[in-house]
A and B are shown apart, each in its own frame.
Chain A
Amino acid sequence: MNIIKKNYSSLSFKNLVTIGVFLSLVGCADTFDTSYFDKEINDPTIGVALKLGNATYTAKELFEEIDKDIEVSETVSQGKSLVSFVYTETIKETNINDFLTLSDKDSKQKFYLTVFPNGTKGTYIGPDLVLEDSKPVFSELKPDNDAKLTEISFSEGTFQVFLTNKIDSDLQIEFTLNSLVKDGKPFVQTFNLPKGQLTPYSSSPKKLEGYIANLANGTNGYNTLATNIKARIVAKNGETFTDASSLSCTIKFRNVKIKSAKGVFGKKTLDVETKKFDLTFFEKLTEGNISFKSPRLKLKATNGYGFPIGITLEGITTTATTNNQLSVLKEDANLKLRSETPETNDYYAIINASENIGITKTTNIEINEQNSNLADLINEKPQKFIIDVNAVSNPNATTDTSDFFDSSASIDVEVQAELPLHVSFKSLRFEPDIFEIDTKDFKDLENNINTLTLEVFTKNTIPLNGNIKIQFITTKEGTETVEFIKNIENMIDGAPVNRDGFSTNTLATVSENIKKINLTPEEIKALNKVTHVKTVITLDTTNKEAVKIQSTDIVTFNMALLVDYTFSDKEKNANN
C-alpha cells in the first residue's frame, strides 16, 4: 500500500503523458481499418508463352502438306528443279494374242512320180526293179490375217503328217520337212506305204514347241512350207506307172500358238485399254485462277514388238466442260500427222519399233505448250485425264517393212501429266479435307484461360503470298455450324522474283513475318463445342508474270502459344 502511495505521489504530469501515449498506441489498434484485408481477391492471371516448335517446308513439301493426296514431284527447268505435279498412268494393249493367230490349218502337198521303170510309163514287165525319186514340194501356211510371215516360232500346238499312196507299188518315203527345224535339224520321218493303201498313213502328232517354221519359200517368199520327199519304189512285174502316180501329203497344224514371228505385218489395230487418272491437285481447287505456263504430257512408250505403233492422240481428253480435247499443232520426231485417206488433221504419237526380239525399245514423246493446246486444257482445271486411244501397227507405212512379233513382248505406254509450277496464281483457293479435332482438353482449361494466342513466325523464300482462313465447325446430326472463323492475311509473305521468275529471297536475308491468331474468351469457350476444322488456303503469286517455284524454295514456321492463365478453381464469371 505504501508502495502504491509512494508511486502515486510520484506520478507527475509527465507520467500521465507517458501513459497516455502508451494507451494511444494500444488503443489505436482498435481504430485499425482492416476492412481492406477482408476484400475478395480476384484470381491472378499470368501470361505464359511456350514455344510449340518449328517446321521447315520446302515448296515441294508445302504443297504435299496442303493435301496428302496431292502428288508432288520435281521438274528441271533452266538447270533448276521446279515443283511440279505429276500424274502417271500406264496403258497396255489388250488381247495381244489376237494380233497374230494361226488357227488349225491343213497344209497340203502333192508328190508326183517323175521317175519310171526303164524310163517308161505304163505297165512294167520284168523282175523287181528299185526306183528312187526325190524332189521338193511346197504348201501354204498362212496366218489368220494378211501378215506375210517369213518365220514363225511356236510356243504351243502340234503338227502331224498324213500320206496317201496313189502309186501302184510299195513305197518307202523319207519325208523331210525342211521348213520345220528344231535344234537346227529339219523334221525327218520315213514311211513305208504299201500298195493300195488309200487310208492316209500318218506320223504320230508332234509338238510344235521348239520348232521354227521357215516360211520364206516358194515363189513369193513368205507363208510357204517347204518339204523334200524322197521316195524308194520297188517296181514289180505287172504294176502300172503313169503321170497320175502320186503321193498326197497333208501337214496338219492344230492348236497353234505363235511365240514369235517375222514378216510383214502391215497396218493393223491393236486393242489398247482405256484409262482415266485423277488430277488431284485440281480436285482441291475451288476458286481463283491458275495459269500453268509449261505443262507437259509425257508419253514414255516401251515397245517389245518389231514394228512401230501409232497412238491416236485425239483420244486424250479431260473432264473439263470446254477445251477438253487434246489437239496437237505441229509435227516433230514422234508426232506425225496421220496420212490416211481421207486425210485427217489428227496426229499419231509414233512409238518406235524394237530392233531385236527380247529387247524393248523406249520412245519418249512430249506434248507441251509448244506443240499442242495442252496449256489450255490444263488451265481449265480439269479433274481427270481420259486416255482412250487407239494403237495401230505400222502407222503411216507406205511400203512393206520387215518386222517381227513377239508374243511375250508388250507395248506399255506410261502417260505422265507433268505440271511444273511455272505458274501464275490469282486468289487460288485450296480447300484441304475437313478434319476432326479433339477439344476435350479445352473443356478443362476453359475456366482458366482468358486469352489464347498462337504466334507464328515465318520466313519465306517461295514467291507465293498465302492467306489462311480457319473455320471452327460444330457438326451435329449432319448439320454444320460455323462457331467462329479466323482469317490470317499474308500468313506468308511472297518472295520477290528475278527476270526469270525465280525467287530472290534467301533465308539468311529475308526478314521474319510475325502473325498472331488471337482467340477471345468467347472463342475459347466455343472451342468446347468444335468438332471439326476446315481450312481454306488462298495463294497468289508475287509477280504479274508467271513465277517459277523451285522445289528448294523454303518457308519456315516457328510457332508459340501465348496464354493468359488465371489461377482459379472457380467457374468463370461466378464472382466478378
Chain B
Amino acid sequence: MKNYIKLITLIVFSIFLKNDIKAQSHVSFFHLGDYVQQSTELSPVYLPKNKLSIGLPGVSVAVSNQLSYRQIFPQNLTNPNFVDFDMQGMYNAIDGEYNNFAISQSVNLFNLAFKRKHGSITFFVNQKVNTNWKMSKNGVLNILNNGLQKRNNTILLNDQIDATLYAEAGIGFTQQFLKDKLAVGIKLKYLIGVANGSTQENATASVRVNNDYSWTINTKNAFARSAGIDLENIKDYKFNTNNTGIGFDIGASYEIIPNLIVEAAINDIGAITWKDNVKEYYVNDVTNLEHEGTNLRSDNDVLDDLEALTESGKLDTGERKGTSYKTSLATTSYLSASYSLFKKHQFRATMFNNHKLKDDKAVLGLGYNLALRKTTYGVVGIKNAQGEIDYGVNFATKIGPIQIYAATDNLNKILGKPEEVRNANLKLGLNLVFGYGKKSKD
C-alpha cells in the first residue's frame, strides 16, 4: 500500500514539476471516466458500465485566457460605477511572449454506445467550434500598451489564429487485451468543415519604432485566409461537403498493478482540407520599408506620405482568391494515472496538453472520486494554464434510465468573482442508459 502511495506521489510530483500546462482541459470531466459515454470525447478508451447508452444532446464549453475581465477592465479608482480599459495592465499581465486565448464549444448531437464483452463500440455525431489565438504580446497588445509611442520598440505581429467550425461523425472502438489489463481505443471521424479563418504559419509583420519615431516595416508571408461560410454573404451560403477531412483519436489504458491504471489518449489527430470559397487577405512582403515622414520643408502632407506606404510596391494589401489548404484539428492529449483504493476511492493524477498552442502550458489535475456503482462524484485540484490552483468537481449519477452528468474545472471561480475568471469550462448533459448489472464486481 505504501508503495502504491509513493508511486502515485511520484507521478503527481513529476507532472507538477514539469509545470507545462494547457487550457480547455476538462480534467474534472476526464475523471468521470467510464461512467459517462461522452468521456470518449477525451479518451477513446471506453469500458462502459452499462450495455447501452444513448446520449441526449449535451454541451461543452471552455474558455481560457491569461487575462481576466477584471485585469482588462479594472475598477476606476474615483468612480465606483466605472471601470477603466487598462491596456497597460493587460500587457503587463501577460507572462512570456504570448497570450493564449482559446475558446471551444462542442455539442454532442448524437451518441450511441454498446458494451461488448471486452470493450465497446460507439457512434457519434458532434458539432465543434474551436478558436485558438496565440496572441503575440509584442503585437496588438504592444500597440495597445502605447507601443507606437515608445522609441526603439518593435511591434511584432506573429499571432497565430485559427477559428474553425466543423462537424464530425464517426465510430469508436475499444478492445481489451492481456486479461483485460490493457485496453486500446480508437475513434475514426469524418470531418466536414463549415468555416475557417486562420493565419499563415510563420506569418510575421513587424514595425520597428525607431529612436526618432520613424518606422521600419518588415513583413513576410503576412496573410490570413478564410474558407467556407462567407460571413459577409452568409445568406447566400449553401451547405456543401467540399471541405472535408479524416480525424482519429487513439488511446490506451493499462493496469500496471492491481488498481493502478495508467492511461494515455491523443485526440483530434487529423486535418480538414479547405477548398470551398478560399480567400486570402495579404500584405506583400517588404524588407526594411522606412516611414520617415515627409520633408518638412516641402508642401507635402504628412498623412499623404503615410497613405503612400500602401502604394503598389510598398505595403501592398488586398484580397485574392486562395488555394486549398489544410488546417489540423486542435489536437489534445491526456496522460493519467489512477489508483483505486478499496474499490471505492479513486485517486487520479492527470496531465492535459493542447498541441494546437505549442507554447501553451500543460494543465495538471489531482483528484479524488468516490466511485460507486451508478454514481460517482469527486473533486479535483487543478493547476491551470495560468499556474493558479483551481478546484474542479464532477459527478454522474443515474436515476432510473436517465443519467445526469456535469463537470467543471473551476468551481472556485464560479463561486468566486466571475470578473476574475481567466479560464472556465463546463460540461453537462443527459444520457439514457440501459442494462446495468446488479452490481459490478468492483
Chain A residues near B (Cβ < 8 Å) = 3-4, 7, 14-15, 17-19, 21-22, 25, 28-29, 31-34, 36-37, 39-55, 57, 455, 457, 557-560, 562, 575-576
A203 to B292 CA separation, bound complex (whole angstroms)? 88
Report chain B residues within 8 Å CB of A562. Answer: 149, 213
Known: A28-B415, A41-B83. 16 other contacts (CB 8 A): A7-B400, A14-B372, A18-B377, A18-B397, A22-B406, A32-B418, A34-B418, A41-B73, A42-B82, A46-B146, A47-B146, A47-B148, A50-B302, A50-B306, A558-B212, A558-B214
A42 to B84 CA separation, bound complex (whole angstroms)? 5
Is the Cβ of A46 less than 8 Å from the Cβ of B143?
yes
Is the Cβ of B375 less than 8 Å from the Cβ of A51?
no
Report chain A residues within 8 Å CB of B395. Answer: 18, 21-22
Is the Cβ of A36 less than 8 Å from the Cβ of B305?
no
Is the Cβ of A36 less than 8 Å from the Cβ of B417?
yes
Given contacts A52-B296, A576-B79, contact A25 B408 (CB under 8 A): yes
A53 in complex: contacting residue of B294, B377, B414, CB < 8 Å:
B294
Report chain B residues within 8 Å CB of A44. Answer: 85, 87, 144
Report chain B residues within 8 Å CB of A575. Answer: 82
B118-156 with Cβ < 8 A to chain A = 143-144, 146, 148-149
In chain A, what residue has the closest Cβ to B397?
A18
In chain A, what residue has the closest Cβ to B306?
A50
B57-113 with Cβ < 8 A to chain A = 69-70, 73, 75-76, 79-85, 87
Report chain A residues within 8 Å CB of B85. Answer: 41-45
Is the Cβ of A53 less than 8 Å from the Cβ of B148?
no
B69 in complex: contacting residue of A28, A36, A51, CB < 8 Å:
A36
In chain A, what residue has the closest Cβ to B378?
A21
Is the Cβ of A25 less than 8 Å from the Cβ of B411?
yes
- Shortest Cβ gap from B149 to chain A (Å): 4
- Shortest Cβ gap from A157 to chain B (Å): 61
Is the Cβ of A46 less than 8 Å from the Cβ of B144?
yes
Is the Cβ of B214 less than 8 Å from the Cβ of A557?
no
A88 to B374 CA separation, bound complex (whole angstroms)? 111
- Shortest Cβ gap from B281 to chain A (Å): 23
Report chain B residues within 8 Å CB of A53. Answer: 292-296, 300, 302, 305
| B345 contacts A by Cβ under 8 Å | no
A344 to B297 CA separation, bound complex (whole angstroms)? 54
A51 to B85 CA separation, bound complex (whole angstroms)? 26
Is the Cβ of B296 less than 8 Å from the Cβ of A557?
yes
| B115 contacts A by Cβ under 8 Å | no
Is the Cβ of B83 less than 8 Å from the Cβ of A39?
yes
Q: Which of B209, B212, B411 has the most CB of A within 10 A?
A: B212
In chain A, what residue has the closest Cβ to B148?
A48
Report chain A residues within 8 Å CB of B414. Answer: 25, 28-29, 32
Report chain A residues within 8 Å CB of B419. Answer: 36-37
A40 in complex: contacting residue of B81, B292, B302, CB < 8 Å:
B81
Report chain A residues within 8 Å CB of B82. Answer: 39-42, 575-576
22 contacts between A and B (CB under 8 A): A7-B400, A18-B375, A18-B397, A22-B404, A25-B393, A28-B414, A31-B415, A32-B418, A40-B81, A41-B73, A41-B83, A48-B146, A51-B213, A51-B291, A52-B296, A55-B295, A55-B297, A558-B212, A558-B293, A560-B212, A576-B76, A576-B79
Report chain A residues within 8 Å CB of B397. Answer: 15, 18-19, 22
- Shortest Cβ gap from A495 to chain B (Å): 20
Report chain B residues within 8 Å CB of A3. Answer: 400
| B234 contacts A by Cβ under 8 Å | no
A558 to B73 CA separation, bound complex (whole angstroms)? 37
Report chain A residues within 8 Å CB of B84. Answer: 41-42
Is the Cβ of B418 less than 8 Å from the Cβ of A36?
yes
Contact with A along B408-436 (1 / 0, CB 8 A): 10010011011100000000000000000
Report chain B residues within 8 Å CB of A28. Answer: 414-415
A560 in complex: contacting residue of B144, B213, B411, CB < 8 Å:
B213
- Shortest Cβ gap from B214 to chain A (Å): 5
In chain A, what residue has the closest Cβ to B84?
A42
A283 to B148 CA separation, bound complex (whole angstroms)? 44
Report chain A residues within 8 Å CB of B69. Answer: 36-37
Report chain B residues within 8 Å CB of A21. Answer: 377, 393, 395
Given contacts A37-B419, A560-B212, contact A54 B375 (CB under 8 A): no
- Shortest Cβ gap from B403 to chain A (Å): 12
In chain B, what residue has the closest Cβ to A4?
B400
- Shortest Cβ gap from B69 to chain A (Å): 7
In chain B, what residue has the closest Cβ to A560?
B213
Report chain B residues within 8 Å CB of A54. Answer: 212, 292-293, 295-296
Report chain B residues within 8 Å CB of A43. Answer: 85
A25 to B28 CA separation, bound complex (whole angstroms)? 14
A52 in complex: contacting residue of B70, B293, B418, CB < 8 Å:
B293
Report chain A residues within 8 Å CB of B418. Answer: 32-34, 36-37
A54 to B291 CA separation, bound complex (whole angstroms)? 11
A42 to B85 CA separation, bound complex (whole angstroms)? 6
Report chain B residues within 8 Å CB of A25. Answer: 393, 406, 408, 411, 414
Is the Cβ of B214 less than 8 Å from the Cβ of A51?
yes
In chain A, what residue has the closest Cβ to B214?
A51
B149 in complex: contacting residue of A15, A19, A32, A49, CB < 8 Å:
A49
Task: Name the 9 nearest CB pairs between A and B, nearest first.
Answer: A53-B293, A47-B146, A44-B85, A47-B149, A560-B213, A55-B296, A53-B294, A51-B293, A36-B419
